[in-house]
């Protein structure tokens, strides 16, 4: 269980996708519901909690509904990092908590030539998505500032270690120093690109080249 959690954190901290550049098909965005009050809008790197229904555009078949399938639980994902289909990454920026959109996603920004599960190859998709909550993602500027305890715009090993310790505690685990050291070393190996012993803001934030 502990290792599973470690892996989850590692992929949160380290994961960003790399993808080849493609020509730009468009997602059609329709706003179905917008809350009156919107203190914060979604941006790349944020974590979004959503309920959604996914339909095939060709015949209107509902292929997935978060309310009806998989225990009816809403799902969390991080926006803009390739964790979800490109149609979502492109179509869900600047959303408010409580906003509902209809996205018409061309196959190339969905499951493409292969299809997936109940989605046949080359399917255009229609999603109705409602955002229930928006949180700072692990790669947001807010997270960076939170981790950068002495405000010098770079993260020392000590600062990353302290952050991991707090994250474990927040999730109800006692920090294990040896594991923690190991994770910090691993993180720096991958993230400290210029090997100066610090993770800079530029090294920290997501690369968005593919979007
Ligand atoms: Ca610092
Ligand atoms: Ca560095």
Q: How many CA atoms are closer than 13 Å to the CA of 84, on its beta-carbon side?
A: 22
Q: Residue 23: what pLDDT?
A: 57
Q: Residue 115: what pLDDT?
A: 95
168-177 own/partner pairs: CB under 8 Å, 24+ apart = 168/5, 171/5, 173/2, 173/5, 176/2
What ligand has the least distance to the C-alpha of 147? 1
Q: Residue 176: what pLDDT?
A: 79
Please give the distance, rounded to the nearest whole angstrom, from the Cα atom of residue 98 to the centre of ligand 1: 35
Q: Residue 141: what pLDDT?
A: 78
Please give the distance, rounded to the nearest whole angstrom, from the Cα atom of residue 148 to the centre of ligand 2: 14
> What CA–CA distance (Å, rounded) separates 137 from 2?
22
Walk along the chain (211 residues) and give the pLDDT tens digit of each residue: 444 455 445 445 544 444 445 457 899 999 999 999 999 999 888 899 999 999 999 999 999 999 998 789 999 999 988 889 999 999 999 999 999 999 999 999 999 999 999 999 999 999 999 999 999 877 777 788 989 999 999 999 999 999 988 888 887 887 778 888 888 998 899 899 999 999 998 888 765 555 5
Q: Residue 10: what pLDDT?
A: 47
User: Considering only CA atoms, which of 138, 132, 146, 116 is closest in space to residue 52?
Assistant: 132
Q: Residue 142: what pLDDT?
A: 79
Q: Residue 14: what pLDDT?
A: 45
Torsion angle of the four alpha carbons 177, 183, 185, 186, in this order, in degrees rounded to the nearest 10:
160
Please give the distance, rounded to the nearest whole angstrom, from the Cα atom of residue 45 to the centre of ligand 2: 20
Please give the distance, rounded to the nearest whole angstrom, from the Cα atom of residue 191 to the centre of ligand 2: 7
| First CA to last CA distance, the chain | 34
Please give the distance, rounded to the nearest whole angstrom, from the Cα atom of residue 156 to the centre of ligand 1: 6
Contact 27, 106 (CB under 8 A): yes
């Amino acid at each position: 269980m502990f290792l599973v959690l470690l892996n989850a954190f590692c992929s949160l901290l380290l994961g960003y996708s790399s993808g080849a550049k493609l020509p730009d098909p468009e997602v059609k965005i329709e706003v179905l519901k917008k809350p009156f009050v919107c203190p914060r809008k979604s941006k790349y790197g944020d974590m979004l909690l959503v309920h959604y229904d996914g339909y095939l555009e060709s015949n209107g078949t509902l292929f997935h509904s978060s309310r009806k399938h998989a225990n009816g639980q809403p799902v969390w994902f991080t926006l803009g990092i390739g964790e979800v289909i490109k149609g979502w990454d492109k179509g869900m920026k600047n959303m408010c908590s409580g906003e509902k959109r209809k996205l018409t996603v061309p196959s190339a920004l969905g499951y493409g030539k292969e299809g997936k599960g109940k989605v046949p190859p080359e399917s255009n998709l229609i999603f109705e998505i409602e955002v229930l909550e928006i949180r700072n993602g692990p790669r947001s500027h807010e997270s960076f500032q939170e981790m950068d305890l002495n405000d010098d715009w770079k993260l020392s090993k000590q600062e990353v270690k302290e952050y991991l310790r707090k994250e474990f505690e927040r999730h109800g685990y006692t920090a294990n120093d040896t594991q923690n050291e190991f994770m910090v070393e691993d993180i720096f190996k991958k993230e400290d690109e210029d090997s100066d012993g610090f993770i800079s803001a530029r090294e920290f934030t997501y690369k968005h080249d593919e979007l």
